[in-house]
Chain A
Amino acid sequence: MRQALEGSQAIAQAVSRCRPGVVAAYPITPQTHIVENISKLVADGDLKTELVSVESEFSAASVVLGSACAGSRSYTASSSQGIMLMSEVLYNISGLRVPVVLTCANRAVGAPLSIWNDHQDSMAVRDSGWIQLYCVDNQEAVDTTIQAFRISEETEIPVMVCMDGFILTHTLEVVDIPDQALVDKYLPPFAFKRILDPKQPISIGTLVAPDFFAEVRHSQHQAMLKSEKAIIEADRDWKKLTRRGYGGLLSEKGPKDAKVGVMTLGSIGGTLAEALDTQPPRRKTKLINLRCFRPLPVAAIQKACEGLTDLIVAERAISPGLGGIVGNEIRAALAGMKKAPKVHNVAVGLGGRDVPLETLNDLVDWAKTAPDTSFSVFDAKLDKLPKEDR
């Protein structure tokens, strides 16, 4: 049903449609409204789930790991420092190949303290072995949440659904919450096999010596690569049911013969899409919205970049001392191409800095002269800094 809902409220509804057996979460801005809304659904009897109000994000992640291993569909959500506190468990969940879905309401990581949006939190755990899907708007966040349970349970890899904190979580907009019957048709009941069961006792989480650890990591990596197929299929099947799809791994917008590409993750894609419609740059430009960041869909990225002379990667995170995280990964991903575009890399919108429509034209103009190894915090106003820090 189409409704005007706050993003967090919509996510709570979507999670509820997936019939989780256990939900565990610890409140943190800007994820709080998701937990609050789920709590309300439980209090009103609209969601039958074991809601565990834990004492930390560390325990939130641990509880959902335990409950999934005990055979219940499990969900958690967090942000920023909470994701950092969870990180040890995140590696554990994926290493044990346990299906869990987590919403990351993306927020900057302190210090300095910032409650506002960027992607530093999810980027910091990009090597944790979780599938990461980034959402442009709240409808996509709702649909991706439902898809995530299916992908996770099919691949036995946990899935992190990344939605921009405040920008999506606190925005009320029109969202279609799919009917329960439709979700039931799409998402089969939780059927994870390697569970803790007295009738068939197994030991989970054993000590693995050097003679087998490398093989475990290899198989985990292979499983991640193979999960691309599950991600594409989950999106395709969802589209068949709802007529809403998100291109699986990535989506493109703009002229096919564009020479300039702008790649983004998350809600910036919406703003730049409107900019492309209303104030298109003079050089033919297309947008590439990277929905799936883990696994990094190298083939799909190369295909999307065919014919481009310049690719601008505008990301909401930074690796101090290196520059862009996504940008450098994309440089590596394109390295095998015959005619790889120059990659220009910027960080924008860090710590909640507003990203206006003009950003698209500004970026395309900047890339004209920027060297291809460049990186800059694009919207930093250097005159605010003392001279020696510029």
Chain B
Amino acid sequence: MIEIRIHGRGGQGNVVAAYLLATAAFEAGLYCQAFPAFGAERRGAPVVAFVRIGKQKILRRNEVKEPAFLIIQDPTLLHEKGLTTGLMKGGGILVNTKLTSGDISAAHGEEMIALPATGMAVEAVGRPVPNVALLSAFLSLTGIVPHTALRKALSGRFKGEVLDKNLNLVEMAAKAVDKGLWKEVAHAASA
């Protein structure tokens, strides 16, 4: 079972990102679980959501404390204390930022992969919502779920032009990172 923690701000589609990733896993024939860290936060406040993906039915209901991966939708959150706490040894961090992977890693003293997801979303969809681009890149990096499954998940949520634009965004973001870079980490985590 792979556990993922998604950090964002209220209004960025954090829960939607978690639900989309889990739905994609379901479309790929896996078991999944996605839930927000239940809070009473308003727009702009830091929020967290969790995803579990596994080959067997997932029984546990507790919060994800030791994720294999972190997806960070807003780089300003990196200044929050304890954001990467509990990350599995060798685990991956994917950050939505205009900086390069090298620069952002250097700035925070931790290995991170950068993706200009907001810019990509504005370009492809016309809205600054980074979640779909991040998920697409995440799937490229880990290979845990094929992109076709993410496309299916998206088609369950969007229709018509908006769907087409999002599918384009998936294509764009999938190519923007090193394919299979986190494959071994993912494999180790799911073992």
Contacts and interface: CB of A to CB of B under 8 A. Distances in A.
Do A and B touch (CB < 8 Å)?
yes
Interface residues of A, number: 32
A183 interface: no
Given A4-B22, A115-B38, A171 B33 contact: yes
| Max count, chain A CB within 10 A of own CB: residue among B27, B32, B33, B38 | B38
A352 B38 contact: yes
Given A172-B19, A174-B32, A271 B61 contact: yes
A10 interface: no
Contact of B32 (A115, A168, A172, A356): A172
Nearest to A352: B38
Contacts of A174: 26, 31-32
A6 interface: yes
Interface in B52-107: 58-63, 65
A268 B40 contact: no
Interface in B113-168: 153
B18 interface: yes
A357 B60 contact: yes
Given A4-B22, A172-B23, A173-B22, A166 B35 contact: yes
Interface string A156-183: 0000000010111011111000000000
B61 A172 contact: no
A173 B32 contact: yes
Dominant secondary structure at the B interface: mixed
Contacts of B153: 4
Nearest to B18: A172
A270 B61 contact: yes
A355 B18 contact: no
Contacts of B34: 171-173
Contacts of B59: 137, 270-271, 273-274, 277
A167 B58 CA distance: 13
B62 A170 contact: no
A6 B63 CA distance: 17
Contacts of A267: 61
Interchain residue pairs A-B with the least CB separation, the first 10: A4-B26, A166-B38, A274-B59, A171-B35, A270-B59, A4-B23, A274-B60, A172-B34, A271-B60, A172-B19
9 contacts: A3-B26, A4-B26, A4-B27, A117-B38, A137-B59, A166-B35, A173-B22, A174-B31, A355-B61
Given A2-B26, A4-B27, A271-B61, 11 more contacts: A4-B22, A115-B38, A115-B40, A166-B38, A167-B61, A171-B35, A172-B33, A270-B60, A274-B59, A357-B60, A357-B62
Interface of B: 18-19, 22-23, 25-27, 31-36, 38, 40, 58-63, 65, 153
Interface of A: 2-4, 6, 29-30, 115-117, 137, 164, 166-168, 170-174, 267-268, 270-271, 273-275, 277, 352, 354-357
